[in-house]
Amino acid sequence: MAAFLRPGERQPGAFGVSFDADRGNAGTAVLHNPNARLALSDQRRRLPVFEHRREILYLVEHHAVTVIVGETGSGKTTQIPQYLLEAGWCASGRMVACTQPRRVAAMTVAARVAEETGGVLGREIGYAIRFEDVSTPDVTKIRFCTDGVLLREMLDDPLLTRYSVVMVDEAHERSMATDTLLGLLKKVLRRRPDLRLVISSATLEADKVAAFFDTATLRGKAAAAAGGLRRTPALLSVAGRCHDVQVHYLEQPAPDYVRAAVTAAADLHATGLPGDILMFLTGQDECEAAVRMLEEEARRGRRERASGLRLMPAALYAGLPAAAQLAALEPPPRGYRKVVAATNIAETSVTIPGVCYVIDCCYAKVKVYDPLSGMEALLAAPISRASAAQRAGRAGRTRPGHCLRLCTEAAFAELPAASVPEMQRAELAGTVLQLKALGVDNIMAFDWLAPPPAEAMVRALELLHALGALGDDARLTRPLGLRISELPLDPRLGAALLAAGRLGCAGDMATVAAMLCVQSVWFAGGGERRALEAAKEKFAVAEGDLVTYLNVWKAWEASGRSGRWAHRHLVNHRTMLRAADIRRQLLQHLWRLGIKPEEVEGSDDAPVRRALAAGLFHNAAQLAETTYESRDAAFAGTHVYRLLRSTGPGLPPRLRIGAASVLARTRPQWLVFYQVQLGAGGFHDMTDVAAIEPGWLPELAPHMFHYVRDAARG
DNA sequence: GAGCACTGC
């Protein structure tokens, strides 16, 4: 284990510096906005972006695309849309759109801008996120929205004619939605020379984005259509307003980064210097382990020293109930130092005030997709340097801070500069279907910001074809393919919902689909595993998790959607409310399509399982006849399932029912599953499982009939 | 006996 700064040490520890320089700031660690008493208009002028106001307006006027590199605190998100409004870009009924990757961001930024303009949110300044359109037609001038909402809007208005400028914020995060939107916007620009794009991004990605939009070499019609407009994107840098963060490395690699992070936090704590600590780990189990170890440290610390700060550890991850998440964000009571052990959620989604120290294990769990087998897996992998910089920045929001990376400087230099865009490591069916619905027929030739692997595109086309969404010519089928593309669901669930309409159980299927869209309905955190098992048992049925969800929903409905009922049954009430929102939205779509939301009477859930099989037949599996033989006793006797479809060359994935499934003990002969995770021993753990009858498959999925017929005979 | 990065329509 590397040596860290010890209590009372004067000389530099493994960090390479001492923290004494910060002692003078001991009294100023309070959150304080020095401009709080200034009028809002004066505050606006003090933002770094204000100095570039005229330049930005000039560039937007003369360039089709302007790429802004704005660091945190520059004010770009709130100010640039206002500058555009003031300069007349919202005349003649058009709007400025500003997209955000996350719902909360769209809402909070809109609220802030409405306040600055002295207006009521939803009038001149509005926002639109799923379930919530707080804007007024013909009145709203600036509309903040999630990038997903703007993509959906393009289905009705492919040229985005309501907008004069689209600002795509946080483009460097390179989410699927952002990448898709940028690719489509490039096409739109060719047809709409009057449209302007403003893209905000961090340095590294800004160059890539600018190069992508550089059409200066275009000849002929496209160039002529551009008129006097410059086709080379303008690139502008705006300074941020955040504090310096000093970065430190280990002298020796740490074999166990959870232990190393806890030791580092304890050593930092022992210096007595003020400021909260944020540590980045990869998952729930690591965060909870770190909290337990820190609590142990705290107990020892209390015995050793009666004076000084006390440790207050907290875990923070997305699966945590809302109340526990909020508790981790609150400032600690006087005399306490908060140490938050967080996953990637703290990198972009959540900001923890008061953090002065970041301890970064330099790993994160990332989704990887194997287009050959069509299996997704979650693996802990080293992060990129860009990601590490973002994490380090979390220490400098209120005052100068420090970041300790739990690797050597040499190892850090070996990390990739940027992360692989999600588009290149995810399953593509939904995105491909959306593009098809927008008239992009040749997916392989689409101008991707980052082209996905060809194999992944082929898999997506195959799946969509098997679902009946694409015809033999790979074009969108009507009405089926168009309908699936319009549903705000994974195409497989969309297909299942429409099949349910034919089978007379669309209402039930909408429930199951909504429950599959939300995170686990079971109450997480606290670690009372046995109690949770008992709670699940009450709803569990031999037909699997998907029917169990239906039972939970019906019981929750019968209780009058009671929060107390949910609490008593260890069901997450907030998750249920969100599922209710999604279900309501799905029912609206069904109503528009003229499909009755019928629910099956009594306990006959076969129609729902048939509908599920109609969407999930791609993930149909059969219990293998022999149990798995392994030299490793832990895996011997595991009940292995095999996919019914072929997975190409290489060993077929060994599937088993995940521990979270209610079928973990029952093991039906035939099943379909919604998700799969790479687990211990190289097994793929199936979650969200439904038992099926093999005879259903040929009639529900005639495209794959030959696999099924062969398997059913066996 | 077993276990879950993060978003979004």
pLDDT of A500-515, one tens digit each?
999 999 999 999 999 9
pLDDT of A447 higher than 80: yes
Q: Quote the pLDDT of residue A1.
A: 37
What Å value separates CA A577 and C1' B4?
21
For A59-71, letters b (16+ CB in 10 Å) and e give bbeebbbbbbbbb
Q: Quote the pLDDT of residue A224.
A: 53
d(CA A502, CA A584): 20
> Of all residues in chain A, what percent carry a pLDDT higher than 70?
88
Omega before A702 within 30 of 0, i.e. cis? no
Q: Quote the pLDDT of residue A272.
A: 83
Q: What is the 3-state secondary structure (H, E, C) of A586-633?
A: HHHHHHHCCCCCCCCCCCCCHHHHHHHHHHHHHHEEEECCCCCCCCCC
What Å value separates CA A352 and C1' B6?
17
Place A292 in a pLDDT band, splitting at 50, 70 and 90. Answer: very high
Tokens of A523: 């109450």
Residue among A660, A664, A663, A655 nearest A623 (CA): A655
Count of CB atoms situated within 10 Å of the CB of A15? 22
Question: What is the DSSP code string of A311-341?
Answer: EEEEEE-TTS-HHHHHHHHSPPPTTEEEEEE
The nucleotide minimizing the C1' distance to residue A343's CA is B5
What Å value separates CA A256 and C1' B3?
21
Kind and range of the H or E run holding A688? strand A684-691
d(CA A182, CA A169): 11
Q: Quote the pLDDT of residue A37.
A: 62
pLDDT of A668 higher than 60: yes
pLDDT of A20 higher than 50: no
Q: Strand B positions with any atom < 7 Å from protein CB?
A: 1-9
Place A537 in a pLDDT band, splitting at 50, 70 and 90. Answer: confident
What Å value separates CA A644 and C1' B2?
24
The nucleotide minimizing the C1' distance to residue A287's CA is B5
pLDDT of A294 higher than 90: yes
Residues A300-313 have pLDDT tens digits of 876 556 557 889 99
Q: Quote the pLDDT of residue A246.
A: 95
Residues A110-156 have pLDDT tens digits of 999 999 999 999 999 999 999 899 999 999 999 999 999 999 999 99
Q: Quote the pLDDT of residue A32.
A: 44
d(CA A8, CA A254): 24
pLDDT of A661 higher than 90: no
Across the range A245-253, mean pLDDT stands at 94
Mean pLDDT of chain A: 87
Which amino acid is residue A324, in one-letter code? A
d(CA A121, CA A136): 10
Among the residues of A192-314, which ranges form H helices? 203-212, 221-225, 257-270, 284-304
Place A103 in a pLDDT band, splitting at 50, 70 and 90. Answer: very high
What Å value separates CA A345 and C1' B6?
6
Protein residue with the closest CA to the C1' atom of nucleotide B9: A488
Protein residue with the closest CA to the C1' atom of nucleotide B7: A102
Q: Quote the pLDDT of residue A705.
A: 54
Residues A332-343 have pLDDT tens digits of 999 899 999 999
Give every CB contact of residue A303 below 8 A, 6+ residues apart in sequence: none
The nucleotide minimizing the C1' distance to residue A376's CA is B5
Structural domains of chain A, with CATH: 48-238 (3.40.50.300), 242-422 (3.40.50.300), 426-600 (1.20.120.1080), 614-713 (no CATH)
Across the range A249-274, mean pLDDT stands at 92
